[in-house]
Amino acid sequence: MTTDSGLVGRAGLQFYGKMCASISHDIKNVLAVINENAGLVEDLCFAAERGKPLDPLRLKRAAADVKAQIRRGDEIISGMNRFAHSVDSDSVQVNLLEIIDLLAAISVRFAAMRGLTLQIDRSESGATVTTSPFLLLNLLWLCLEQAMEASGPDRKVALAAERISGGVCLRFRGLEGLKAAPLGGLSAEPAASLCCALSAEVRADAQTGEILVQLAGGRG
């Protein structure tokens, strides 16, 4: 396998664009809810000016909804900020639990659109690897897309990170519809070039219903 840097670059830009579009949709929804609550308060004030009594409980509920949306918006933007900073370095120590947390944060809308939930196994929190966080996220996203297609009837995809001999491994579990295939069933490109750039190996285990991403040189 060889790395096609142009192909990796194009795939990376597509991945970045896809995630930004999804995140912007989420932010639009947050703004839409805040907008309706602000509008409702205006409507109620307008009605009060015409003699209808104001209901303080309704106003409190509107304020609580706005606060909840601000918290939600802050979480979305924090995820977007972490994602944007993933391009800062081509080689940095990456905590794998943090990277799957970030993957789940930026992918949650894609999962929700398919009626799926993403579950993170937090039992192994110390596994790290020195790599490009952005390229790793891109490869993991391709795996997650494949995993979401193969999820079982419980509509869950579980993500886990762990240390293995000579490296680290990321697992996508609960994939009852998975078929054994080279590269875990991913399209040959850009997956092959990403694997080469990351010294990674992707494989699908149809028996256990898992896609495995192994990275050499990790640490526990």
Q: Is 17 in the site for another protein (CB under 8 A)?
A: no
Which of 11, 37, 197, 202 touches another protein (CB under 8 A)?
A: 37
DSSP H or E segment with residue 63: helix 56-85
Residues 131-160 that bind another protein (CB under 8 A): none
Which of 3, 16, 33, 121 touches another protein (CB under 8 A)?
A: 33
Q: Is 208 exposed, middle or buried (0-12, 13-18, 19+ CB in 10 A)?
A: exposed
CA-CA distance, 58 to 65, in Å (whole number)?
11
Contact present, 213 and 170 (Cβ < 8 Å): yes
Q: Is 90 in the site for another protein (CB under 8 A)?
A: no
Q: Which stretch binds another protein (CB under 8 A): 1-9, 107-115, 185-193, 197-205?
A: 107-115
Q: Is 47 in the site for another protein (CB under 8 A)?
A: yes
Residue 75: CB minimum distance to another protein, A: 15
Taking the least distance from each CB to another protein, the nearer of 64 and 92 is 64
Which of 1, 112, 180, 188 touches another protein (CB under 8 A)?
A: 112
User: How do the residues of the chain divide into helix, strand and coil, expressed in percent and rounded to 5?
Assistant: 55, 20, 25
Of 102, 110, 179, which is closest to residue 136 (Cα–Cα)?
102
Taking the least distance from each CB to another protein, the nearer of 3 and 29 is 29
Taking the least distance from each CB to another protein, the nearer of 19 and 213 is 19
- The CA-based diameter of the chain, rounded to the nearest angstrom, is 76
Taking the least distance from each CB to another protein, the nearer of 13 and 47 is 47
Taking the least distance from each CB to another protein, the nearer of 63 and 180 is 63
Taking the least distance from each CB to another protein, the nearer of 36 and 189 is 36
SS3 label, residue 192: helix
Contact present, 170 and 212 (Cβ < 8 Å): yes
Q: Which stretch binds another protein (CB under 8 A): 24-32, 128-136, 170-178, 211-219?
A: 24-32
Torsion of CA 65, 66, 72, 78, to 10 degrees: -170
**Tokens, residue 46:** 């307008």
Residues that bind another protein (CB under 8 A): 24-26, 28-29, 31-37, 39-40, 43, 47, 62, 65, 68-69, 112-115
